[in-house]
């Protein structure tokens, strides 16, 4: 990109500058740190110049937004044409309460919905299951049946607004609830838009809300790809996630490498089934974390787009839409502090800005109180306003990929890509993603990174404001979101009523048909939808799959 002679001159001048005025100051007053490392332990230099990116070819390596390799953005107009979707992840208690919260958020300017489910739901258990003890509605909304889904979206135009649902093990069934609810409201399934997270590989690696072993889980996921592209074309049937991997303690490079590795594994499985890559690839989406190191995060998103485009091209994808990596971002939950919670607003702002400068399609900003509770109305409103201020007041959306060409950013983007490919090689040597999971490779890398990070904090080598630096001795006062105490009882009664009033023979017949299909090789979505329509509960439907597929037990990795 730069002229040879110019580069020489710059190199010479930089060397001079470093040996003279820079060194002079370093000798007088040492730099604040011996090493300036980012969160992935990459050594960051004092200054970047054209020499650091001299190998880049603008057209081949960067190009333009909406064009391969999509480094600078997935759409030609990006935020000048359409802002990212402001999509706040939320849910708690019973469907009625969450329905209220969704209406609140929509009224305050949110542009997409995102459902958080409680633990029993995430594991495919009904609210009245013994293992659900104490867990109802605590970290998300309880959805045990189609009836609950009806209440959750009552009064919300699901044909006009897209919904993302963070559900993995029982994703196919919960998706079934959503589709069936829309159809019951005379909305054609071809008109509904949204996402199911449905990313089981990262469950084994990080989030741990898996149910079945890898093979049947992958089968179910490919079933959803197939059903999606044939029947529900506006739906993203997977959100390949790095967020949780990062939350479990990984570095940014690990987040990038493991997520993309998972994505490519899904593509391989779908192709193995016989699906055409250009049919399903356009509906694969991603989900990343936005952590504290501002520039590293931006470089991460850009590297992600370029790597994905290159790899999908290698795998034979031809349609431009197949090569585009669209992603949702959430600011890092694990970076929030319980101490001096208001300062989390500042953290979230920086993190959100990184996601936006990185070109995210959709964004969730955490609320300041989330280190200790589910967000209060006021806190979530501030989080939403953070996005709106960036969008409307900061001017960063005036141009596309404003940091493109920055010597530092392009250098860092390249490094992240390089390190990602190194991880790809290591995983391949272990036999691939699933063997690597069974050998505990990812889990060990993550546990190591998590431990290293904590040690740095405990040894005061890494500052966390309010926690090990600038501490204030004040009580931690975070208003805890109060939930309706009658919610659980209401839910259990609703379940009892539903089980009594449904057509028993139809329900049993459909469950048996599902069992038979699960034992075979057919696509399970139509069978799941039949169960859903006959008001089989989540627990009952998932129970059939548990019977046929078995349950997964994880290896013990520290």
Partner 1 sequence: MSDLTSRILKGDPRSVAKLITAAENNSKELADEMKIIYKHGGNAYVIGVTGVMGSGKSTLIYELAKEYRKQGKKIGIIAIDPTSPFTGGALLGDRIRMTELVMDDGVFIRSMGTRGMLGGLASAVFDAVEILDASGKDVVIVETVGVGQAEVDVIKIADTTMVVLVPGLGDSIQTIKAGIMEISGIFVVNKADRPDVEQLVAELESLIDISCIGKDRKIPIVKTIAKKNLGIIDLVNEIEKHKDYLIKTKNFEIQRKKRYEAELVEIIRKRLMNFIFDESMFKEKVEKLIDKISKKELDPYSAADEILSKIIK
Partner 2 sequence: MEKKIRVLIAKPGLDGHDRGAKVVARALRDAGMEVIYTGLHQTAEMIVETAVQEDVNVIGLSLLSGAHMTLFNDVTKLLKEKGMSDVLVLGGGIIPEEDAPALKKVGVCGIFGPGTPCEDIVDFIKKNVKK
Q: Interface residues with partner 2 (CB under 8 A)?
A: 119-120, 122-123, 125, 131-135, 138-139, 207-209, 247-249, 334, 336-339, 371-374, 446-447, 450-451, 454, 457-458, 464, 466-468, 475-478, 480, 554, 556, 558
What is the CA 303 to chain-centroid distance, rounded?
A: 16
Residue 430 CB, nearest distance to partner 1 (Å)? 10
Binds 466, which of partner 2, partner 1, none (CB < 5 to 8 A, cut-off by type)?
partner 2
Question: In which region does residue 365 sit, left (phi positive, over 0), alpha (psi from -120 to 50) or beta (all else)?
Answer: beta
**Which of the stretches 120-128, 183-191, 341-349, 547-555 binds partner 1 when contact is defined by CB under 8 A?**
547-555
Give the separation between CA 502 and CA 511, rounded to whole angstroms: 13
Residue 554 CB, nearest distance to partner 1 (Å)? 8
Give the separation between CA 321 and CA 72, rounded to whole angstroms: 15
Query: Residues 11, 129, 439, 515: which binds partner 1 (CB under 8 A)?
Result: 439
CB 228 within 8 A of CB 235: yes
Closer by beta carbon to partner 1, 109 or else 431: 431
Is residue 133 a contact residue for partner 1 (CB under 8 A)? no
CB 499 within 8 A of CB 148: no
Binds 431, which of partner 2, partner 1, none (CB < 5 to 8 A, cut-off by type)?
partner 1
The contacts of residue 187 (CB under 8 Å, 6+ apart) are: 158, 159
Query: Residues 130, 477, 485, 558: which binds partner 1 (CB under 8 A)?
Result: 558
Q: Which of residues 21-40 bind partner 1 (CB under 8 A)?
A: none
- The count of chain residues that interact with partner 1, using the rule CB under 8 A, is 8
**Which of the stretches 92-100, 345-353, 406-414, 549-557 binds partner 1 when contact is defined by CB under 8 A?**
549-557
Give the separation between CA 300 and CA 71, rounded to whole angstroms: 11
Length of the chain: 558
Give the separation between CA 99 and CA 97, rounded to whole angstroms: 5
Q: What is the phi/psi pair of residue 281, to 5°? A: -60, -35
Closer by beta carbon to partner 1, 79 or else 441: 441
Closer by beta carbon to partner 2, 446 or else 531: 446
What is the CA 1 to chain-centroid distance, rounded?
A: 35
Residue 426 CB, nearest distance to partner 1 (Å)? 14
Residue 558 CB, nearest distance to partner 1 (Å)? 6
Q: How far is CA 370 from CA 26, 96, 113, in A?
A: 41, 22, 19
Is residue 431 a contact residue for partner 1 (CB under 8 A)? yes
Give the separation between CA 433 and CA 427, rounded to whole angstroms: 6
Where does this chain bind partner 1 (CB under 8 A)? 431, 439-440, 553-556, 558
């Amino acid at each position: 990109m730069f002229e040879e002679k110019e580069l020489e001159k710059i190199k010479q001048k930089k060397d001079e500058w470093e040996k003279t005025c820079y060194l002079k100051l370093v000798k007088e007053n040492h730099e604040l740190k011996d090493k300036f490392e980012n969160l992935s332990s990459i050594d960051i230099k004092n200054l970047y110049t054209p020499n650091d990116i001299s190998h880049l070819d603008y057209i081949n390596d960067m190009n333009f937004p909406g064009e391969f390799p999509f480094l600078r953005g997935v759409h030609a107009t990006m935020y000048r044409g359409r802002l990212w979707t402001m999509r706040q992840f939320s849910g708690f208690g019973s469907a009625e309460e969450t329905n209220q919260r969704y209406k609140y958020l929509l009224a305050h300017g949110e542009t997409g919905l995102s459902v958080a489910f409680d633990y029993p739901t995430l594991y495919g258990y009904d609210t009245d299951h013994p293992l659900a003890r104490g867990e109802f509605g605590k970290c998300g909304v309880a959805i045990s049946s189609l009836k609950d889904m009806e209440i959750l979206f009552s009064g919300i135009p699901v044909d006009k607004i897209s919904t993302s649902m963070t559900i993995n093990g029982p994703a196919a069934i919960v998706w079934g609830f959503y589709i069936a609810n829309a159809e019951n409201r005379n909305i054609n399934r071809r008109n509904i838009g949204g996402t199911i997270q449905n990313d089981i590989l990262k469950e084994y690696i990080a989030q741990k809300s898996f149910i079945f072993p890898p093979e049947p889980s992958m089968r179910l996921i490919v079933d959803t790809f197939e059903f999606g592209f044939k029947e529900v074309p506006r739906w993203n049937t997977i959100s390949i996630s790095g967020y949780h991997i990062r939350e479990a303690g990984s570095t940014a490079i690990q987040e990038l490498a493991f997520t993309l590795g998972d994505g490519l594994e899904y593509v391989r499985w779908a192709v193995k089934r016989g699906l055409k890559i250009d049919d399903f690839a356009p509906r694969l989406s991603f989900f990343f974390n936005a952590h504290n190191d501002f520039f590293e995060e931006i470089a991460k998103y850009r590297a992600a787009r370029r790597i994905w485009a290159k790899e999908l091209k290698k795998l034979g994808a031809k349609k431009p839409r197949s090569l585009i990596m669209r992603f949702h971002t959430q600011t890092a939950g694990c970076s929030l502090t319980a101490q001096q919670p208001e300062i989390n607003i500042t953290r979230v702002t920086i993190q959100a800005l990184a996601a936006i400068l990185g070109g995210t399609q959709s964004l969730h900003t955490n609320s300041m109180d989330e280190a200790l509770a589910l967000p209060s109305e006021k806190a979530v409103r501030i989080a939403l306003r953070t996005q709106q201020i960036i969008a409307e007041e900061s001017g960063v959306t005036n141009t596309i990929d404003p940091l493109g060409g920055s010597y530092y950013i392009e250098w860092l983007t390249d490094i992240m890509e390089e390190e990602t490919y190194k991880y790809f090689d290591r995983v391949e040597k272990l036999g691939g993603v699933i063997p690597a999971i069974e050998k505990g490779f990812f889990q060990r890398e993550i546990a190591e990174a998590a431990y290293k990070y904590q040690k740095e904090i405990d040894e005061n080598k890494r500052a966390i404001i309010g926690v090990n630096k600038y501490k204030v001795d004040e009580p931690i006062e975070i208003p805890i979101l109060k939930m309706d105490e009658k919610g659980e009882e209401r839910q259990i009664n609703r379940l009892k009523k539903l089980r009594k009033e449904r057509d028993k023979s139809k329900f049993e017949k459909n469950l048996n048909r599902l069992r038979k299909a699960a034992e075979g090789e057919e696509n399970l979505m139509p069978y799941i939808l039949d169960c859903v329509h006959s008001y089989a509960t989540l627990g009952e439907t998932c129970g059939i799959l548990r019977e046929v597929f078995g349950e997964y037990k994880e290896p013990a990795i520290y």
